[in-house]
Amino acid sequence: MDLSNDNIIHVKKGGIEFLQFRRLLEYKDIINHAYSIGTDWNFRTARANKQKLSDDEYEKAIEAYNKLCIEINTKANNLVKTNQNHTKEVKIIQKKIKEQEPDFNLERYSNTDGLITDKKNIILSTTNADCILLLFFDPAKKVIANTHSGWKGTLQRISVVTVRKMIEVYGCNPQDIICCICPSIRKCHFEVENDVKDMFENEFQDLKPFENWIEEKIPNQKWNIDTIFINKQILLKENLKEENIIDSGICSVCNSNSIHSFRVEKEGYGLNTALIELK
């Protein structure tokens, strides 16, 4: 299946598949980027409880990162990866910690769900299996960011935290910032109960009417929430241009044969990765 559409292209090279955003490819002389595709590869480098993988599992993950990096003409040793924990913590990266291998599973990036840098040859990596991954690029200031925003991160407005930090630290103009939204669970499958629905309604009073992004499925029991819509709206309120918020338009659950999905795979679920790097 080819997942290409008006905003993305689906690339198959060297035994691995990935998506690239057409808009970011306009700056391919400045940045590298990719979102991995395929459930045969797992980009997990540690278990959710931070326990180590077996040697075989870890080596398989390293192989996956190596293959993907080779195909976008970069080096896996340049990778810096978050230890995600559904926080709103976004960190600035000034340099890599390890010289000869990727910065994986480091305490420095514990409880971190977003990374920002203006340094060249540092690949920012996040992972997902339904959660939203957001790739940010300011072509004027040459600043990139990579942010993981699951439903808990969306409630904490981590996408807004990322933009504000880009402005505060690097002087970015929000109207220059491009934000690309990778494949994730969509409203069609993000079903929640009253407790989660109530948290979203309480947090996003500024996004009324709720009917724009909450749909009742089972009366007073189940609700579907559009977290993509929410992230777009809160980024627009931060003065990003609508044309600079580019959505892949792909649901991870609808396409679980090609994209890892926690809701489909359950325990033992795999992870895809999103990468972005300044050349």
Q: Can you give the CATH number for the domain in which 265 is found? A: 3.60.140.10
Residue 50 has pLDDT above 70, yes or no: no
Has residue 122 been placed in a domain? yes
With a CB cutoff of 8 Å and minimum separation 6, the contacts of 36 are 16, 17, 18, 43, 64, 68, 272, 273, 274
Which helix (H) or strand (E) segment holds residue 169: the answer is helix 158-170
Has residue 111 been placed in a domain? yes
What burial class does residue 117 get, using C-beta atoms within 10 Å of its C-beta: 0-12 exposed, 13-18 middle, 19+ buried?
buried
Residue 49 has pLDDT above 70, yes or no: no
**Residue 48's pLDDT is what?**
72
Phi and psi at residue 87, to the nearest 5°: -105, -175
Has residue 191 been placed in a domain? no
The helix/strand/coil state of 146 is strand
HSE, side-chain direction, 13 A CA sphere, residue 233? 16
As beta bridge partners, residue 136 has: 145, 179
**Residue 248's pLDDT is what?**
98
Has residue 2 been placed in a domain? no
For the chain, give the percent of residues with pLDDT over 70. 99
DSSP-assigned states of every residue in 8-46:
EEEEEETTEEEEEEHHHHTTTTTEEEEEEE-SS-----S
Residue 52 has pLDDT above 90, yes or no: no
Name the domain count of the chain.
1
| Residue 187: both structure tokens together | 């409203």
Phi and psi at residue 56, to the nearest 5°: -65, -45
* Pairing of the two strands 178-181 and 245-247: parallel
**Residue 8's pLDDT is what?**
98
**Residue 47's pLDDT is what?**
84
Residue 39 has pLDDT above 70, yes or no: yes
What average pLDDT does this structure show over 18-45? 97
Residue 195 has pLDDT above 90, yes or no: yes
Residue 187 has pLDDT above 70, yes or no: yes
Cα separation, 36 vs 274, in Å, equals: 7
Has residue 192 been placed in a domain? no
Residue 260, amino acid: H
Domain range holding 37? 8-184+246-278
Has residue 190 been placed in a domain? no
For the chain, give the percent of residues with pLDDT over 90. 96
CA 44 and chain centroid, separation? 14
What average pLDDT does this structure show over 117-128? 98
Digit-coded pLDDT (tens) for 203-226: 999 999 999 999 999 998 999 999
Quick one: residue 108, left, alpha or beta (phi over 0 = left, psi -120 to 50 = alpha)?
Answer: alpha
Digit-coded pLDDT (tens) for 220-247: 899 999 999 999 999 999 999 999 999 9
